[in-house]
Amino acid sequence: MTQRQTHFRACNLCEAICGLAIETDGEQIVSIRGDKQDPFSRGHICPKAVALQDLQEDPDRLRQPLRKVDGQWQSISWDEAFAYAAERLHSIASVHGGNSVAVYAGNPSVHNYGLMTHASYFYKQLQTRSRYSATSVDQLPHHLVSHLMYGHQMLIPVPDIDRCDFMLVLGGNPLASNGSIMTVPDVEKRLKAVKSRGRLVVVDPRRSETAELADQHVFIRPGEDAAFLLVFLRTLLDESLTTPSAVPFAELSAVKAALAPFDLAAQAQRCGVALDTIQTLAREFAATPRAACYGRMGVSTQVFGSLSQWLIQLINLVAGKLDAEGGMMFSEPAMDLLHSMSPGNFARWHSRVSQLPEFAGELPVAALAEEMLTPGEGQIRALITQAGNPVLSTPNGRQLDRALEGLEFMLSIDFYLNETTRHADLILPPTSALEHDHYDMSFNMLAVRNVTRYNAPVFAKPAGSLHDWEIFMGLAKAYAERAGHKAPTAIEPAQMVDMAIRMGAYGDKSSHKLTLKALQEQPHGIDLGPLKPCLAARLQTSNKQVETAPALLLQELQRFAHSKAPEGLLLIGRRHVRSNNSWMHNYHRLIKGKPRHQLLMHPDDLAPRGLVDGQRVRVSTRVGAVDVVVQASDEVMPGVVSLPHGFGHQREGVRMSKASELVGVSANDLTDEQLIDRLSGNTALNGVPVEVQACA
């Protein structure tokens, strides 16, 4: 007897939120396909969707709380686990103060809504300023710039890709990443459509998969996008290639005055792009009514990441492409984080050792290890990680690896025993993606159409397991009991979403009358239409105008003017469509095929060093060295080497049997916690000065 059933739900592994049709037979997954009836993703999926089955069935996935006793892992009950965590954390905080307990939230925290809705019931009680997350190795400059210019950290424009006729992409490789801060399933088809309507141009130190697809690829020296963008913006201003905009903003005189002293030829030389190339692109951009300038990860994780993101906003604004059809637009989601999330605050406090600024209640993760290693009042003595692997994903990972060994207590909420969680005293594993429901709070907010969908679980929760949000409530209650606080109570995530949607733009007061129930009745998701100009109404600045010249960014421009571009070889990263940061290397069907952990290096850089393709080389930086196989490639420009992150699994105590077979090294054993975007504290993962020589 079979009990075949088809479930429709979205994949939550990356930002693209593709609809899936998952066929099951009892407890078994029979197939995972794209859901053709999903109006947004139209049947598209990438190879990772199928790996949801591998995650579901992985014998290495943890399913019970584990406590380390004398170096050995022992299974314990949930109640024992919660009481143990509360006891240890409370006693450390009592002796050393709240800030001695730190929290690190990893990337899946924004892909699993229970973590967004319920973690704070626990964390609030800790009263700690030692909060960290993957935001500061990623998109922090986007949030900071949106906070300063538009009054809210989540008011981030996305390319109106389906109507755009000229798309300029800097530092993004959507063909590998499936799009980021641009929720767009099936991005390849949509980029090809841009090409057929007009032009796709990619600015990147590597001829990425997206650059390969583009009509034009421009090599740029890593970390120098600010110089490129400055020339671009000045060209628009100097040649009066501006278009009046319906967006309310004050005079640009401060911006113009600050940009005036720059010598454009010198800036072009600095970024390694011919002056004429940049100026021609600026003219074409301005002349195309529907055009968008989009800069992503490669642009934000560099030393002038915030400055670059600001210049991108200004380029779109002065050319009339901001909040305009076919340009960079803002979503109007069914659940609007403008109302439920803080608009962002900046620099209310600083990290103890390096004085890095707080943003929205978090400190830059570049400071995490030194805050553990530097004695004194406020030293971090306990750490909680949720859905994160900072040993592989944050700068100078080896230093963090060592720092974790010195903690008095560490708790990880994660379903793998990996490079980070192996240091924990207690691991609390949640249910898998298919065992819980999900509503995407983050990425509907960044989608290229207004869309919404509720995702029911595919499998019932296995007996004795807990969802992430239930784990947080368990911790919150045990901690309250230990600390003598009032025990917190909370409704379920789905009920919170119901309330937020009913209050939102498509809720009770609208003709849509959306509710959770209405969403549940439409398992393929609901299309709420194309993006519409809405910035004037959504702006959160006090004067209801775009702040074009925030003082902090004008200062940053000055700092840039007085800075010098680094010389020598520079390291950049690279993603592969079958990867997902550090944690999906345990699935056979994602890791099969040619190895892809090599260092890419241009033949012109190999020869003078006496190196040859396929040889093992030593790559070193201020913080460390790794030995890796080098691959000759003209994909990277001369002077640039590329290494993917998320490898480096061969460490004692890691329980990921397939991943541990991979020989790749961690790029973050090379990245430098002192090489940061000074304004925001975001790590410069790209443009890291390195030396490469033959292995002894």
Ligand X SMILES: Nc1nc2c(c(=O)[nH]1)N[C@H]1C(S)=C(S)[C@@H](COP(=O)(O)OP(=O)(O)OC[C@H]3O[C@@H](n4cnc5c(=O)[nH]c(N)nc54)[C@H](O)[C@@H]3O)O[C@H]1N2
Q: The tokens of 583 are what?
A: 């944690």
User: Are the C-beta atoms of 99 and 130 separated by less than 8 Å?
Assistant: yes
Partner whose footprint covers residue 299, from Mo ion, ligand SF4, ligand X, none (CB < 5 to 8 Å by kind) = ligand X
Measured from the CB atom, the residue of 245 and 581 that comes closer to ligand X is: 581
**Which of 24, 112, 117, 267 touches ligand X (CB under 6 A)?**
112
CA distances, 361 to each of 45, 111, 133, 321, 357 (Å)? 35, 20, 11, 32, 10
DSSP H helices, 368-515, are: 368-373, 390-393, 397-405, 468-483, 493-503
Element (H, E) at 292: strand 291-295
Q: The tokens of 17 are what?
A: 């939120």
| Minimum CB distance to ligand SF4, residue 11 (Å) | 3
Binding mask 606-645 for ligand X (x = CB under 6 A): ---------------------------------------x
CA distances, 651 to each of 165, 330, 391, 418, 611 (Å)? 48, 44, 11, 9, 28
Measured from the CB atom, the residue of 67 and 296 that comes closer to ligand SF4 is: 296
Partner whose footprint covers residue 174, from Mo ion, ligand SF4, ligand X, none (CB < 5 to 8 Å by kind) = ligand X
Q: Which of 46, 41, 75 is nearest to 417 (CA)?
A: 75
| Minimum CB distance to ligand SF4, residue 25 (Å) | 22
User: Are the C-beta atoms of 681 and 366 separated by less than 8 Å?
Assistant: yes
Measured from the CB atom, the residue of 316 and 580 that comes closer to Mo ion is: 580
Measured from the CB atom, the residue of 397 and 523 that comes closer to ligand X is: 397
| Minimum CB distance to Mo ion, residue 443 (Å) | 12
The C-alpha atoms of residue 103 and residue 87 are separated, in whole angstroms, by 17
Give the binding site for ligand SF4 (CB under 6 A).
11, 13-14, 16-18, 45-46, 48-49, 178, 185
Measured from the CB atom, the residue of 45 and 383 that comes closer to ligand SF4 is: 45
User: Are the C-beta atoms of 284 and 321 separated by less than 8 Å?
Assistant: no
Element (H, E) at 294: strand 291-295
- For the chain, what is the largest distance between any 2 Cα atoms, rounded to a whole number of angstroms? 78
Partner whose footprint covers residue 414, from Mo ion, ligand X, ligand SF4, none (CB < 5 to 8 Å by kind) = ligand X
The reply to whether 180 sits near ligand X by the rule CB under 6 A is yes
> For tokens 């930086």, what's the residue?
621
Partner whose footprint covers residue 468, from Mo ion, ligand SF4, ligand X, none (CB < 5 to 8 Å by kind) = ligand X
The reply to whether 583 sits near ligand X by the rule CB under 6 A is yes
How would you write 194-223 as a 3-class SS string? Answer: HHHHCEEEEECCECCHHHHHCCEEECCCCC
| Minimum CB distance to ligand SF4, residue 358 (Å) | 31
Cβ-closest position to ligand X: 298
User: How would DSSP label each residue in 7-34?
Assistant: EEEE--SSTT--EEEEEEETTEEEEEEE
Measured from the CB atom, the residue of 123 and 439 that comes closer to ligand SF4 is: 439
**Taking the chain, what is the end-to-end CA distance rounded to the nearest angstrom?**
63
Binding mask 443-482 for ligand X (x = CB under 6 A): -------------------------x--------------
**Dihedral class, residue 365 (left if φ above 0, else alpha if ψ from -120 to 50, else beta):** alpha
The C-alpha atoms of residue 205 and residue 633 are separated, in whole angstroms, by 12
Could you tell me which residues are beta bridge partners of residue 200?
167
| Minimum CB distance to ligand X, residue 513 (Å) | 31
Partner whose footprint covers residue 16, from ligand X, ligand SF4, Mo ion, none (CB < 5 to 8 Å by kind) = ligand SF4
Partner whose footprint covers residue 621, from ligand X, Mo ion, ligand SF4, none (CB < 5 to 8 Å by kind) = none
User: Are the C-beta atoms of 409 and 122 separated by less than 8 Å?
Assistant: no
Measured from the CB atom, the residue of 324 and 363 that comes closer to Mo ion is: 363
Q: 3-state class of 619 per DSSP?
A: strand
Measured from the CB atom, the residue of 272 and 333 that comes closer to ligand X is: 272
**Which of 667, 675, 690, 692 touches ligand X (CB under 6 A)?**
667
**Which of 108, 159, 344, 493 touches ligand X (CB under 6 A)?**
108
Measured from the CB atom, the residue of 163 and 575 that comes closer to ligand X is: 575
CA distances, 192 to each of 69, 171, 180, 526 (Å)? 56, 19, 17, 25
As a 3-state breakdown, the chain gives helix, strand, coil percent values, each rounded to 5, of 35, 20, 45
| Minimum CB distance to ligand SF4, residue 21 (Å) | 12
The reply to whether 413 sits near ligand X by the rule CB under 6 A is yes
**Which of 45, 49, 52, 134 touches ligand X (CB under 6 A)?**
134
The C-alpha atoms of residue 638 and residue 635 are separated, in whole angstroms, by 9
The reply to whether 160 sits near ligand X by the rule CB under 6 A is no
Partner whose footprint covers residue 11, from Mo ion, ligand SF4, ligand X, none (CB < 5 to 8 Å by kind) = ligand SF4
The count of chain residues that interact with ligand X, using the rule CB under 6 A, is 62
Question: In this chain, which stretch among 242-250, 283-291, 478-486, 679-687 interacts with ligand X, using CB under 6 A?
Answer: 679-687
The C-alpha atoms of residue 369 and residue 224 are separated, in whole angstroms, by 28
Give the binding site for Mo ion (CB under 5 A).
138
Measured from the CB atom, the residue of 133 and 541 that comes closer to ligand X is: 133
The reply to whether 206 sits near ligand X by the rule CB under 6 A is yes
Question: In this chain, which stretch among 71-79, 133-141, 529-537, 674-682 interacts with ligand X, using CB under 6 A?
Answer: 133-141
Measured from the CB atom, the residue of 422 and 502 that comes closer to ligand X is: 422
Residue 253 corresponds to which amino acid? S
The C-alpha atoms of residue 259 and residue 495 are separated, in whole angstroms, by 50
Measured from the CB atom, the residue of 290 and 645 that comes closer to ligand X is: 645
| Minimum CB distance to ligand SF4, residue 461 (Å) | 22
- Strand 199-203 to 216-218 pairing: parallel
Q: 3-state class of 618 per DSSP?
A: strand
The reply to whether 309 sits near ligand X by the rule CB under 6 A is no
Measured from the CB atom, the residue of 298 and 429 that comes closer to Mo ion is: 298
How would you write 313-338 as a 3-class SS string? Answer: HHHHHHCCCECCCCCEECCCCCCCHH
Q: Which of 248, 677, 210, 156 is nearest to 445 (CA)?
A: 156
Question: In this chain, which stretch among 319-327, 330-338, 605-613, 684-692 interacts with ligand X, using CB under 6 A?
Answer: 684-692
| List of residues 6+ apart from 199 with CB closer than 8 A | 165, 166, 167, 215, 216, 284, 288
**Which of 19, 65, 157, 223 touches ligand X (CB under 6 A)?**
223
Measured from the CB atom, the residue of 52 and 101 that comes closer to ligand SF4 is: 52
The reply to whether 581 sits near ligand X by the rule CB under 6 A is yes
**Dihedral class, residue 355 (left if φ above 0, else alpha if ψ from -120 to 50, else beta):** left
Measured from the CB atom, the residue of 602 and 645 that comes closer to Mo ion is: 645
The reply to whether 90 sits near ligand X by the rule CB under 6 A is no
Q: Which chain residues interact with ligand X by CB under 6 A? A: 14, 106-108, 112, 134, 137-138, 170-174, 176-178, 180, 203-206, 208, 220, 222-223, 225, 296-299, 302, 386-390, 393, 413-416, 418, 430, 468, 572-573, 575-577, 579-583, 645-646, 667-668, 671, 685-687
